[in-house]
Structure 1
Amino acid sequence: MATNENLPPNVIKQLAKELKNLDESPPEGIKVGVNDDDFSTIYADVEGPAGTPYENGVFRMKLLLSHDFPHSPPKGFFLTKIFHPNIATNGEICVNTLKKDWNPSLGLRHVLIVVRCLLIEPFPESALNEQAGKMLLENYEEYARHARLYTGIHAKPKPKFKSGAISESTTALNVDQTNTEQKSTAAGAALTLPSPLAPSTTSTRGNGQEQPVAVAPTTDTGVSGSQKKEGGLAKVHADKKKIDARKKSLKRL
């Protein structure tokens, strides 16, 4: 197995810096595995981009660095089986960045991002998997079906939140609210609150001071003395009106 001793010291130093940066700040959808004993093989888990047949799958890949890296490009391989025009059945990756477009100034971050972008936009014209390339050009739906099938069988599913966690939290919250309401109701029942319909027991004088006012006792019928008094006054007024009407009638005679 290749070791760091096969790489020049300046390359090892640069790689160590890059790998540390990738570990602390990984590109979107990519997680790099760091092996301090062997920088010549870089492993990475690549999440299938949303909206592609590779969605919800995680694909393991590796980059092999030659002894004259970065003057020579790394070789890329998918270790997870995948149905893709630019990835051979043995996992070899065909992308221009790792071939004719390679530049020694390009870092590992750029290479990994390009590989993930390949899952979004394949290039069937330079296919390593001829079946996938032909299918993509002639019948995209059939190609996508095959790619999704491979993803479902071989790609490790993306980690998800614990099932039912939200429901459990909501249930717990509802239980707490119910207990709080029950406690509030029990506390309210223990207090003797005045009826909102009870007559006032105070009145205010002109000088703003309050003075107790006698409240008429209620009878068994539920009618207060003040209500009886008001009924009596109404009857007196009615009788007076009748007398006045009779007087007027007598005057006409």
Structure 2
Amino acid sequence: MSLTPQALRLLSREVVSLRSDPPEGVRVVFDEDDLTAMEGWVQGPDGTPYQGGYFRIRFDFGLEYPNLPPKCTMLTKIFHPNMSKSGEICVDTLKKGWKKEYGVGHVLVTIKCLLIYPNPESALDEEAGKQLLADYDGYCKYAKLITSIHATPKLPPPEFRNTTSKTIPQASSSSNTHVIPSTSTRPPNSTSSTTSSKPAPLQTRVDQEQSPVLPSTATMDEKALKPATSTKVAGGTKTSTAASKAKRGLKRL
């Protein structure tokens, strides 16, 4: 069924958005030549009886779309209170709660939430609704069985494959990232990070080889200012040699 040009433009923009950045667990399948022939996939949420399953939904757009909601049919067999055996889906978003701003993505996310939180008060499948209220464990067990038989393929649908792994780009040759080798892998001629292993500058070594070793200034001053000492010998006190020479000089004068 054909849509108005405005509705087709709106649907086309939404399809592009859903293809580039789809909500988690939600995908769309469409024909580029006919966007109205659209289907959606909902992945069974973890922690529910529908985990591991993939559920296909068909969209039927009326002439009044987006002012009126699309008709959605569950094509995959499922045991759920709000989905009939014929595939009819009972959710307020597709009825009185519809807003033209919602679109296809919102409908699929709503159906995914319905798998997590079924509403037995508005049950289309009375058997599922009654069992949900009376025997929750039994309901979960049977819903899981139906999911494993009718909704769990050997491989996920193509739309869900290779969506979790991302390729990490390799650094190009013009990249500013530099790899610094560890100290243990440096070549022998490379400069070590330890200061004590650096050779002394050439001029410093030359000066050390040519300069004589002189006593410090403090040591020289102490010797110059130190008075002559006398040495005790047998038979008396013998003055130092310097003091004796000084006295002989005075006598000569």
| 1:125-160 residue CA offsets vs partner (Å, 9 max, x unmatched) | 000000000100111011111101110110033747
Stretches of structure 2 lacking an aligned partner (at least 5 in a row): 157-253
Alignment check: 8 A CA contact 2:7 2:65 kept? yes
2:59 aligned with 1:56: no
Partners in 1 of 2:27 and 2:62 — Cα distance?
A: 22
The structural deviation recorded for 1:49 is 0.2
Tell which structure's C-alpha radius of gyration is larger: 2
Partners in 1 of 2:141 and 2:152 — Cα distance?
A: 18
Q: 1:140 aligns with which of 124, 136, 139?
A: 136
The structural deviation recorded for 1:37 is 2.2
Query: Which residues in structure 2 correspond to 1:191-230 (within 5 Å)?
Result: none
The alignment-based identity, stated in percent, is 47
Q: Which runs of 4+ in 1 moved over 6 A?
A: none
Q: Which structure dedicates a bigger proportion of its chain to helix?
A: 1
Matched with 2:65 is 69
Aligned letter for 2:57? Answer: M
The structural deviation recorded for 1:41 is 3.2
Q: 1:85 aligns with which of 58, 81, 86?
A: 81
Partners in 1 of 2:37 and 2:133 — Cα distance?
A: 34
The structural deviation recorded for 1:73 is 0.8
Partners in 2 of 1:24 and 1:64 — Cα distance?
A: 23
Matched with 1:121 is 117
Alignment check: 8 A CA contact 1:63 1:75 kept? yes
Matched with 1:21 is 17
Equivalences, count: 156
Query: Which residues in structure 2 correspond to 1:166-185 (within 5 Å)?
Result: none
Partners in 1 of 2:58 and 2:154 — Cα distance?
A: 19
Alignment check: 8 A CA contact 2:28 2:41 kept? yes
Alignment check: 8 A CA contact 2:81 2:119 kept? yes
- Say which SS state the counterpart of residue 73 (structure 2) adopts: strand
Alignment check: 8 A CA contact 1:40 1:66 kept? no
- Say which SS state the counterpart of residue 149 (structure 1) adopts: helix
Aligned letter for 2:8? Answer: I
The structural deviation recorded for 1:39 is 2.1
Structure with larger RCO (C-alpha < 8 A, sep 6+): 2
Partners in 1 of 2:7 and 2:154 — Cα distance?
A: 33
TM-score (norm 2): 0.59
2:41 aligned with 1:45: yes
Partners in 1 of 2:68 and 2:15 — Cα distance?
A: 19
Report the more deviating stretch, 75-84 or 150-159. Answer: 150-159
Aligned letter for 1:133? Answer: G
Report the RMSD for the aligned CA atoms in angstroms: 1.3
Stretches of structure 1 lacking an aligned partner (at least 5 in a row): 161-253
Alignment check: 8 A CA contact 1:73 1:98 kept? yes
- Say which SS state the counterpart of residue 40 (structure 1) adopts: strand
